Chain A
Amino acid sequence: MNAGDERSSTHKLKIPRGLYEEIGSQEKIIRLIKVGLLSLGATSLEREIADLIKRTGDLEKCIAELPPEIERFQQLLEEALKDQKTLEKLLDKKR
């Protein structure tokens, strides 16, 4: 097989003969394949969209939960820093 034959064979669709005869014409086959592929593409996009909606929802939930937790740790940190000063002062006094 030369390069030209190889190239042309990649641009050919192999249709099961029974199916070809059932449909009857090349044009109809091409049209059905296109409709089938477009339908598959739409289903695939719908799934991707559903997945994106779910992932966005999960992130929104996380965004809503984090600020109160940050606030809680900020208050604890402020308190710990205040205690640190007191501890240092108490230890320093005794030296």
Chain B
Amino acid sequence: MQLRKSPVKSIPIETSREIVELTKELNISLNPEGVRNIIRLGMESLNQEAELERALKKLEEEKGRLASDFQKIAFQSSQLEAKYVGTRNRFGRVSRDNRVLAMHLCARFPRGKREEQLRDELIQKYIMNYRNT
């Protein structure tokens, strides 16, 4: 009786802990299909292992620097955003209060030309031309 050869060949990778670490970092599974794809990628690569390791280290450093810059800018942006929203909301509240006051003013008669002018301006602004922010 002839034994059928298994379609895969197992090789231990205890000697190459880096492979285990790299697969974890990249979150990929090394099933036979995955191994085939990675080996093809290795064959197509124009760079040597040492060159790639150096490039990877440089890229890691660049990513770290960019991530740190991004965090600083994100903090600055969130501060500005909070200031913008706060100012806009406060303006909205004061405008709504002014609209209510202007409505009360509608029911009153002005005393004097100056008062009449002010009254008309404020009614125009907070009732007739009022726009919600």
| A residues neighboring B (CB under 8 Å) | 8, 11-17, 19-20, 23, 26, 29-42, 44-46, 48-49, 52-53, 55-56, 59-60, 62-63, 66-67, 69-70, 73-74, 76-77, 80-81, 83-84, 86-88, 90-91, 93-94
How near does chain A come to B131, taking the closest CB pair, in angstroms?
11
Taken residue by residue from 30 to 68, chain B's Cβ proximity to chain A (1 for < 8 Å, 0 otherwise) reads as: 111001111111110101110011011001101100110
Taken residue by residue from 1 to 29, chain B's Cβ proximity to chain A (1 for < 8 Å, 0 otherwise) reads as: 00001111111111110111011011010
**A8-B12, A17-B7 in contact; A59/B66 too (CB < 8 A)?**
no
| B residues neighboring A (CB under 8 Å) | 5-16, 18-20, 22-23, 25-26, 28, 30-32, 35-43, 45, 47-49, 52-53, 55-56, 59-60, 62-63, 66-67, 69-70, 73-74, 76-77, 80-81, 83-84, 87-88, 90-91, 94-95, 97-98, 101-102, 104-105, 108, 111, 115, 118-119, 122, 125-126
Q: Is the CB of B77 within 8 A of A39?
A: no
What secondary structure prevails in chain A residues at the interface with B? helix
- Chain A residues closer than 8 Å to B5, beta-carbon distance: 17
Q: Could you give 16 example pairs across A and B, Cβ below 8 Å?
A: A11-B20, A13-B13, A15-B11, A30-B13, A30-B15, A35-B41, A35-B47, A49-B59, A52-B67, A55-B70, A76-B91, A77-B91, A77-B94, A83-B125, A90-B119, A91-B101
